[in-house]
Structure 1
Amino acid sequence: MKANITIIANVIEDHMDVMGPTLDDIAEAFSSTIPENGYVIIPETPYQKYFEKVARQKNSKVVVADESWIDETYLQKFPFMIFPQNAALAMAVADILNIDHEVALEGMLQAPVDPGAMRVHRFGKEEAPKYFFNGFAANDTTSTLNIWERIQQLDYPDHERTVVMSCRSDRVERTIDFAENVLPHIEMERLIVMGESVWPVTKAYEEGKIRPLNLINLEKASTEVIVDHLKELPDHSVIYGIGNIVGAGEKVAAAVEELEFQPSYRGEIGWDEVEEVEESRSFSRKVLQTNK
């Protein structure tokens, strides 16, 4: 059985070693999934004309997902962070299948959370928590910056921002890429580097290309030492883990998850007030979905 609807969510700098080395190569690789006599759904992209050309050769139709009617009120109903583009792509599928919009919208809200979703972990003081965003698995520059932009839109505290960059000795090219194309574009109070082969980041810092107020070099440090540094960060800190999930990233994320707490309202407020408080604090339990 072959699918007759293909969704190409984006063309970004991901898995360049397999599908690259250029974005044109990635677009070409994705175009091979366009079906015969079917549909290909895409967001607004510079590669629209290219995909239309390939689709015509296969007698298929290109549908460009329309984000304009996806409003923030609807997106906030999800138990995880979702980009307007994601919802628009899904609605384009619903249109092709003649599924009622209201049914489709409700269906998306009820769908299971993707295993790749990333939770925001709250730890520290319950009345003044720290927020840890596990973005280690978003291993391309575009997704990493998109997640950071979305975090800022969700009204988290913005006066104590820490980025934790996880580096790998077998992914030095990625570290260089992040040092050049991610870290210079994130305003932060401090930058923690961990893992192995962190030199591209420290070099960029020394050259003034990355401008945190403080750089903390924890290369080859143990998970315990790294987490102790996170515990000592100021109250209301926003901590964003980026770079690589394999290695130090995975270990630190697991350790922070162990620190997570769930607020207890019993005895603090009346039960008739719980719903109101839950709504006001709901942003602190969001789940981040990478825009892939």
Structure 2
Amino acid sequence: MSALILLLLAVCLALLILEDRQVRRDRSELVHVVYVNGIRGKSTVTRMIDGGLRAGGWKVFCKTTGTMPMVIGVDGTARPLVRRGRANISEQVRVLHRAVREGAQILVIECMAVDPALQAVSQHRMVRADIGVITNVRLDHTAEMGPTLEEICDSLSNTIPWNGTLFTADGAFLDQLRTNGRRKNCRVELAQPDSGLPDFDFPENVALALAVCREIGVDRDRALEGILRYQPDPYALSLFRLPSGAAFVNAMSVNDPQSTQLDYHRVAGRPGMVGRRLVLLINNRPDRGYRTEHMMMVARGLEPEEIWLIGASQRAVRRTLRHILPDTPVRLFPGAEALPLDSRGADTMIFAAGNLAGPGKALMERVRKEGEQSVL
């Protein structure tokens, strides 16, 4: 038995050595690897960087996790990334190899790890990026990264590249990121929007993409042209007009309380949205208890006229909401098909938040079928 165990250990060690050699060979074929981490906006920033670099003439391979795993090949075609089984960070190795096979010069890849140790492994043992991005530090994934923003910042810092460059749009944590960067001899820069940017809902995302493109040598105007043509995530923040006249906002991919409320206020301030009555639709998933708590924070902050619940733990959430907002009606629904979307008129905004898992994607399929998408 002991001999068999030793043999299996030897085989595993040999496979790890072979994989490490392959990773090193693949990485040496690429001019740059850009690794995008952060709490919100990772997929959008990854795709914007991809668009800006392509406009600058680089051969780029891009991979995002977002609401569903996708790759954009060197040919510019977006395709779903087929997974065998559950998500595993080892797919980053396969993506690296695929980028090289397609003849890419640059790989732009979104971090898919949440656990701090796995974030470190994915950067330093797998993709080995020379340019890093941390979009922002916000309250999410607290079970894995820690309950405070400072701990979350340290967790995200596990993808800071050795002897490289890191860009962030989060000025509040710039000093902490620079302190963490110095330990790895990494230059940390703050990317901020300037007055020359066109009207955009999230100018900080554009600023990050422009900073990365500038670092790689792409002219600003050319990079901006590509950034504004980027291919958005399939389930990114979006606005729909329902047949009843009500506005439906999909913010289910946002998750953290700060970003969710910021997104609501941005949309609510748009022409045609001002003064609309708010129905807050919360979709909860059973394996993200802390996000349920975060959505309670959102409900308290937004004080909607009515709250609709789908997904997991509905009765428990309703009990909590009755303490937080005792005068706000809370309605429970078994799934997306039961939601009375046609019961609200042009004076209402239905703002969907929480998670896309469970009935979330079915809800979006229904909204896309019944409604008409508008430009945010």
Fold-level similarity (TM above 0.5): yes
Aligned length: 249
| Pair 117,204 (structure 1): closer, same or farther in 2 beyond 3 Å | same
Report what 2:325 is aligned to: 210
Structure 2 residue aligned with 1:174: 291
- Distance between the aligned counterparts of 1:89 and 1:170, measured in 2? 32
Letter of the 1:217 counterpart: R
Task: Point out 4+ residue stretches in structure 1 off by more than 6 angstroms.
Answer: none
The answer to whether 1:119 aligns with 2:238 is: yes
Q: Is the CA contact 1:70–1:87 (under 8 Å) kept in the aligned structure 2?
A: no
Secondary structure in structure 2 of the residue aligned to 1:37:
coil
**Alpha-carbon distance between aligned partners in 2 of 1:198 and 1:156, rounded to the nearest angstrom:** 32
Partner of 1:268: none
What is the CA–CA distance in structure 2 between the aligned matches of 1:119 and 1:156, rounded to whole Å? Answer: 15
Q: What secondary structure does 2:242 align onto?
A: strand
Asked if 2 retains the 8 angstrom alpha-carbon contact of 1:175 and 1:243, the reply is yes
1:18 pairs with 2:133 = no
Query: Distance in 2 between the 1:84 and 1:223 partners?
Result: 33
Match of 1:144 among 238, 241, 260: 260
* Structure 2 residue corresponding to 1:163, chosen from 270, 280, 291: 280
2:223 is the counterpart of 1:104: yes
Instruction: Please give the secondary structure, in 2, of the residue aligned with 1:114.
Output: coil
Cα distance in 2 between the residues matched to 1:36 and 1:70: 32
- Structure 2: state its 5+ residue gaps: 1-26, 28-127
- What stretches of structure 1 of length at least 5 have no aligned partner? 77-81, 262-283, 288-292
Deviations 1:12-55 (A, max 9, x none): 12222232243233212221211122211012333212211222
CA distance in 1, matches of 2:374, 2:251: 15
Instruction: Give SS of 1:55's match.
Output: helix
2:338 pairs with one of 219, 225, 229: 225
Per the alignment, residue 92 of structure 1 pairs with: 211
Cα deviation 1:165-193 (Å, max 9, x = unaligned): 112344343222321x2111114322212
Report the alpha carbon displacement of residue 202 of structure 1 after superposing the two structures with TM: 2.5
Q: CA deviation at 1:224?
A: 2.6
Alignment of 1:19-98 (within 5 A): 19-69=145-195, 71=197, 74-76=198-200, 82-98=201-217
Structure with the bigger RCO (C-alpha within 8 Å, sep 6+) is: 1
3-state SS of paired residue (1:124): coil
The match for 1:258 is 369
Question: In 2, are the aligned partners of 1:162 and 1:238 still within 8 Å (CA)?
Answer: yes
Q: Equivalent residue for 1:271?
A: none
Correspondence for 1:184? 300
**Between 20-29 and 142-151, the greater mean CA deviation after superposition:** 20-29
Q: Cα RMSD between the aligned structures?
A: 2.3
- Report the alpha carbon displacement of residue 162 of structure 1 after superposing the two structures with TM: 1.2
Following superposition, the deviation at residue 201 of structure 1 comes to: 3.9
Q: How far apart are the structure 2 equivalents of 1:170 and 1:42?
A: 29
Q: Name the structure 1 match of 2:118.
A: none
Amino acid in the other structure paired with 1:235: A
- Contact 1:70/1:84 (CA < 8 Å) preserved in 2? no
Partners of 1:175 and 1:198 within 8 A in 2: no
Does structure 1 conserve the Cα–Cα contact (< 8 Å) formed by 2:303 and 2:325? Answer: no
Q: In the TM superposition, what whole-angstrom CA distance separates every residue of 1:46-105 from its partner, at most 9, and x where no partner exists?
A: 32122112222222211111224354xx134xxxxx411101111211332332221121
Distance change >3 Å, CA 31–CA 168, structure 1 → 2: closer
Q: CA deviation at 1:118?
A: 3.5
Q: Given the two structures, how large is their TM-score scaled by the length of structure 1? A: 0.76
Provide the rounded CA distance (Å) in 2 between the counterparts of 1:25 and 1:214: 35
Amino acid of the residue matched to residue 108 of structure 1?
Answer: I
Larger deviation: 87-96 or 197-206? 197-206
The amino acid of 1:123's aligned partner reads L
- Shift in Å, 1:132: 1.1
The alpha carbon displacement at 1:214 in A equals: 4.6
Output the CA distance in 2 between the equivalents of 1:29 and 1:206.
35
Tell me, in whole angstroms, the C-alpha distance in 2 between the residues paired with 1:245 and 1:15.
15
* Partner Cα distance (1:163, 1:216) in 2: 10
DSSP 3-state at the match of 2:329: strand
1:133 aligns with 2:249: yes
Q: Kindly indicate whether the alpha-carbon contact (under 8 Å) linking 1:172 and 1:197 is maintained by their aligned counterparts in 2.
A: no
